[in-house]
Amino acid sequence: MIQTVSTTPFDDQKPGTSGLRKKVRIFAQPHYAENFVQSVFDSLEGFAGETLVVGGDGRYLNREVIQIVLRMAAANGFGRVLVGQGGILSTPAASHLIRSSGAFGGLVLSASHNPGGPDEDFGIKYNVSNGGPAPEKVTDAIHARTMTIDSYRIVDAPDVDIDSIGTSRLGDMTVEVVDPVALYAELMESLFDFPAIRAKIAGGFTLAFDSMSAVTGPYATEIFEKRLGAPGGTVMNGTPLPDFGHHHPDPNLVHAKELYDRMMAADAPDFGAASDGDGDRNLIIGRHCYVTPSDSLAVLAANAHLAPGYAAGLKGIARSMPTSGAADRVAEKLGIPLYETPTGWKFFGNLLDAGLATICGEESAGTGSDHVREKDGIWAVLLWLNILVARGESVATVMADHWATYGRNYYARHDYEAIATDKANALMAALRGKLDGLAGTANSGGTIRSADDFAYTDPTDQSVSRNQGVRILFEDGSRVVFRLSGTGTEGATLRVYIERYVGVEGDLAMATGDALAPLVAAAQELADIEGFTGMDAPSVIT
What would you report as the CA-atom Rg of the chain, rounded to the nearest whole angstrom? 23
Question: How much is the pLDDT for 488?
Answer: 55
Question: How much is the pLDDT for 468?
Answer: 94
> How many other β-carbons are positioned within 10 Å of the β-carbon of residue 332?
12
Please count the residues of the chain: 542
Which pLDDT tens digit goes with each residue over 381-417? 999 999 999 999 999 999 999 999 999 999 999 999 9
Specify whether the CB–CB gap between 359 and 369 falls below 8 A.
Answer: yes
Which pLDDT tens digit goes with each residue over 179-219? 999 999 999 999 999 999 999 999 999 999 999 999 999 99
Q: Angle at the Cα of 500 (from 498 to 506), degrees rounded to 5?
A: 160
Task: Label residue 477 left, alpha or beta by phi (over 0 means left) and psi (-120 to 50 means alpha).
Answer: left
What confidence tier does 18 reach under pLDDT thresholds 50, 70, 90? confident
pLDDT of 449 over the 90 cut: yes
Question: Cα(451)–Cα(439) distance, rounded to whole angstroms?
Answer: 6
pLDDT of 507 over the 90 cut: yes
pLDDT of 81 over the 70 cut: yes
Whole-number percent of the chain with pLDDT over 70:
99
Question: Cα(406)–Cα(132) distance, rounded to whole angstroms?
Answer: 32
Of 120, 139, 56, 121, the C-alpha closest to 91 is: 56
Specify whether the CB–CB gap between 439 and 452 falls below 8 A.
Answer: no
Question: How much is the pLDDT for 136?
Answer: 85
Mean pLDDT of 293-297: 97
* Mean of per-residue pLDDT scores for the chain: 96
Q: At what angle do helices 395-406 and 377-391 cross, to 10 degrees?
A: 90
Question: How much is the pLDDT for 40?
Answer: 98
Which domains does the chain possess? 2-180 (3.40.120.10), 184-406 (3.40.120.10), 408-541 (3.30.310.50)
| Count of CA atoms in the C-beta half-sphere (13 A) of 317 | 31
Mind spelling out the 3-state secondary structure of 361-415?
A: EECCCEEEECCCCCCCHHHHHHHHHHHHHHHCCCHHHHHHHHHHHHCEEEEEEEE
Question: How much is the pLDDT for 191?
Answer: 98
Report helix, strand or coil for 16. strand
Residue 121 CA: distances (Å) to CA of 20, 146, 345, 538: 10, 20, 21, 22
Specify whether the CB–CB gap between 169 and 175 falls below 8 A.
Answer: yes
Mean pLDDT of 84-100: 98
Q: State the catalytic residues.
A: 112
Of 347, 357, 369, the C-alpha closest to 458 is: 347
Q: Angle at the Cα of 242 (from 169 to 493), degrees rounded to 5?
A: 115
Q: What is the DSSP string of 172-214?
A: TEEEEEE-TTHHHHHHHHHHS-HHHHHHHHHTT--EEEE-TTS
What confidence tier does 487 reach under pLDDT thresholds 50, 70, 90? low
Question: Cα(386)–Cα(194) distance, rounded to whole angstroms?
Answer: 8
Mean pLDDT of 331-358: 95
Question: Cα(194)–Cα(385) distance, rounded to whole angstroms?
Answer: 10
Which run of H or E residues covers position 435?
Answer: none
Predicted TM-score (pTM) of this structure: 0.95
> How many other β-carbons are positioned within 10 Å of the β-carbon of residue 329?
19
Question: How much is the pLDDT for 491?
Answer: 82
Question: How much is the pLDDT for 489?
Answer: 55
Question: Cα(386)–Cα(35) distance, rounded to whole angstroms?
Answer: 45
